[in-house]
Amino acid sequence: MKQSLAITAGLALGLAVSSAQAADSVTIQLKWVTQAQFAGYYVAKEKGFYKDAGLDVTIKPGGPDVAPPQIIAGGGADVTVDWMPSALASREKGVPLVNISQTFKRSGLMLTCRAETGIKKPTDFKGKTIGVWYGGNEYPFLSWMSKLNLKTDASPAGVKVIKQGFNVDPLLQKQADCVSTMTYNEYWQVIDGGYKPSQLVVFKYEDEGVATLEDGLYVLEKNLKDPAFVAKMAKFVKASMKGWDYAKTHVDEAVKIILAADTTGAKTEKDQKRMMGEVAKLLGESNGKLDVKDYDRTVAELMAGGSDPVITKKPEGAYSFAVYDAMK
């Protein structure tokens, strides 16, 4: 009897090990730290959507010293979340990133200015000091300034650009007239810092007609030649979008999952709930498939910089629907 039980237990253990080994491993590198901006991936992992798809997913948070294109180029991730301007600029510089899915349909990027500076329209930026994020996030701003014919070299006919940390201190301390903010994050830091909406003038890139695509999923081009990798990404994207759909309709639960995953303890329920609500406004179709018209618009924006464009030529092969084709 004992021998029979031992055999049964051994078979069960063997099946469990076999099942674990059968799971395809996927590592995703996020663009920034753990927060509701990436809720879909954390929810998919916590709710077992990845596991159900036969995936063992590792989520690597980003940060101020993390450059997603460098991480994936160095083999540190299978897929990464990045903004398209950064991805396309990296591609032109030799890192062959390919968009396989576009989670965010709309841009959340803004310039938030102190109303007391007298700035009322974009042409009023002339002679002002503007905080800008770098590390790949500067490209939409530089493209916009080029369209406005405003130099970014602090000349009298241009604007003075200061490298903004990932906070809004330059505006709160009145070191800058405007700072970069996201609708779902830093804008609310300004509000929490003591400013009222009436004391601010906001310029949304989306409203100004200079928006470019933000959070999308990118892989290395060579990996798309491997049918097994494509099949794995098809399962990953499908399960991720299921996670996003769940996060949108179960905000409180999604926020709890995010807070539990935040190892820094810096996030609060209030700010993450607010962030989740704003992020939901940016999401596109439920399957996350890239709209080629949005891609073409982004490319046009990035090439419209006159003598100093973000990218110098129209990319070839910078997006692929191979992953979506594999879902059929």
Q: What is the mean pLDDT of residues 146-173?
A: 90
Q: What is the pLDDT of residues 253-311, one digit of tens each?
A: 999 999 999 998 889 999 999 999 999 999 977 789 999 999 999 999 898 866 667 89
Q: Rounded distance, CA 140 to CA 133, Å?
A: 10
Locate 143 and state its tokens. Answer: 């493209």
> How far, in Å, are 163, 183, 231 from residue 218 at the CA level?
26, 23, 15
Q: What is the mean pLDDT of residues 136-161?
A: 87
Q: Rounded distance, CA 214 to CA 233, Å?
A: 20
The 3-state secondary structure of 68-100 reads: HHHHHHCCCCCEEEECHHHHHHHHHCCCCEEEE
Q: What domains lie within the chain, and their CATH numbers?
A: 24-105+213-325 (3.40.190.10), 109-204 (3.40.190.10)
Helices H / strands E in the chain, number of each: 13, 10
Flag whether the pTM goes above 0.85: yes
Question: Would you say 108 and 183 are in contact if contact means Cβ atoms under 8 Å apart?
Answer: yes
Q: What type of residue sits at position 318? A: A
Q: Rounded distance, CA 119 to CA 171, Å?
A: 14
User: Which of 205, 216, 180 is CA-nearest to residue 83?
Assistant: 216
pLDDT over 90, % of the chain: 79
DSSP state of 283: B
